[in-house]
Amino acid sequence: MNQLAIVLPTWKPDFLQCALESIRAQTDQRFTLYIADDGGPDRIARICDDFDNTGLIYHRFDANLGNTSLTRHWDRSVALSIEPWIWLFGDDDEMHPECVAKFYETLGNLKPEVSVIRFNTDVIDEASEVRKHNPSHPQSESASEFLFDRLLGHRKSYVTEYIFRRSTYSLKGGFPHYPAAWCADDAAWFSFAGDGPILTIAGPRVRWRSSRVNITGANRSCQTEKLEASRQFLDFIENEVEPGAAGHSADEWSEARSIWFENQVRYLSPMKLSHIRAVIEVNSPWNRPRIERAILAIIWTIKGHFKEAIRRLTKYKTQPPTKAPT
């Protein structure tokens, strides 16, 4: 039996062909590929038909679950597989041809306490052009140190770059259920890693796609869910991570949480008035004085609306003129 399951939860076909092509190009084919169709368009099945010779296992769930709980769809997708290691890969992302080979090379020398392995990442656009090389993570680091640096903005991280042991995944009950799956992966890596380190494979990279159709880019439509998930995540950090973490004081953790939340507010802008009120409330994890929070949130919202107006105007100007009927 293969040691590795590559599991693709999917609902949108836009870049699925690119993802599957990158998997078919792996120099080491010792994996089983599972496609978990979350009641998406018929085009998904047609794309998968072209990859029958790869041993792909396609399963369609008629009832869409990801729209209400993406993490539960992740869990039922993982349940399709049986292999001891799981790679939950994005349906619009791509992997370097040597990724699976490097995983097996790493597996051969792996210590038993390691349950979470990851690749470094690049960011690609809708044309699969690399737009950014994200900084490399340490080869080995504790899960608490990983989260501390995530809070400070020193680590980029996407679910698509991680491979984890089935045994620890099952022991922890799968992925935590955060709204829109926002922050759920970061919390999961801490839980799955346990007392062992998070190991980063040097060399081949995973290419994460920034596009108009992924959840990360859908700020306006998921603001409420993302803000609620952000609060849940920070509660998890404060109550589950900090008590057992060494190397940083309570004040340093508090400042790190505040920095992270401030960056979330900036990222999610422009915000609705109700959301601005929520992020400047008295018990906000944002440590700045309330008047500063209010001013910054309003400024970022105004800037966000201005940028959106410029994008709409640019799009309108670049559209070809409509021909009058003859």
Per the model's pLDDT, the better-predicted residue between 304 and 47 turns out to be 47
Cα–Cα separations (whole angstroms), residue 2 to 59, 83, 103, 165, 260: 19, 7, 12, 13, 39
Percent of the chain scoring above 90 in pLDDT: 81
Q: How confident is the model at residue 10 (pLDDT cuts 50, 70, 90)?
A: very high
**pLDDT recorded at residue 94:** 98
Percent of the chain scoring above 70 in pLDDT: 93
Q: What digits encode the pLDDT tens for the residues 266-313?
A: 999 998 888 898 888 867 889 999 999 999 999 999 998 888 888 778
How many residues does the structure list for the chain? 326
Please return the burial class of 160, using the count of CB atoms within 10 Å of its CB with bins 0-12, 13-18 and 19+: buried
The alpha helices in 238-289, defined as continuous H runs, are 250-268, 273-279
- Whether residue 230 is predicted with pLDDT greater than 70 in this model: the reply is yes
Distance between CA atoms of residues 227 and 274, nearest Å:
12
Q: What is the mean pLDDT of residues 219-242?
A: 90
Q: State yes or no: cis peptide before 270, omega within 30 of 0.
A: yes
**pLDDT recorded at residue 322:** 56
Assess contact for 188 and 176: CB atoms under 8 A.
yes
The CA-to-CA distance between both ends of the chain, in Å, stands at: 66
Looking at residue 22, its amino acid is S
Q: What is the mean pLDDT of residues 182-193?
A: 98
Q: Which CATH number fits domain 4-215: 3.30.465.10, 3.40.50.300, 3.90.550.10, 3.20.20.140?
A: 3.90.550.10
Residues contacting residue 225 through CB under 8 Å, at least 6 positions apart? 179, 180, 182
**Helices and strands (H, E) in the chain, number of each type:** 11, 10
Per the model's pLDDT, the better-predicted residue between 225 and 282 turns out to be 225
Q: What is the mean pLDDT of residues 226-253?
A: 95
Mean pLDDT rounded to a whole number for the chain: 92
Domain ranges of the chain: 4-215, 219-318
Per the model's pLDDT, the better-predicted residue between 261 and 320 turns out to be 261
Q: How confident is the model at residue 217 (pLDDT cuts 50, 70, 90)?
A: low
Torsion sign over Cα 151, 157, 159, 162:
negative
Q: To which H or E segment does residue 308 belong?
A: helix 290-318
**pLDDT recorded at residue 323:** 56
**pLDDT recorded at residue 309:** 86
Q: Would you call 111 helix, strand, or coil by DSSP?
A: coil
- Judged by average pLDDT, the poorest of 115-129, 180-194, 219-233 is 219-233
Distance between CA atoms of residues 252 and 149, nearest Å:
11
Distance between CA atoms of residues 199 and 204, nearest Å:
14
Distance between CA atoms of residues 51 and 24, nearest Å:
8
Q: How confident is the model at residue 52 (pLDDT cuts 50, 70, 90)?
A: confident
**pLDDT recorded at residue 238:** 96
Q: How confident is the model at residue 69 (pLDDT cuts 50, 70, 90)?
A: very high
- Whether residue 176 is predicted with pLDDT greater than 80 in this model: the reply is yes
Assess contact for 127 and 244: CB atoms under 8 A.
no
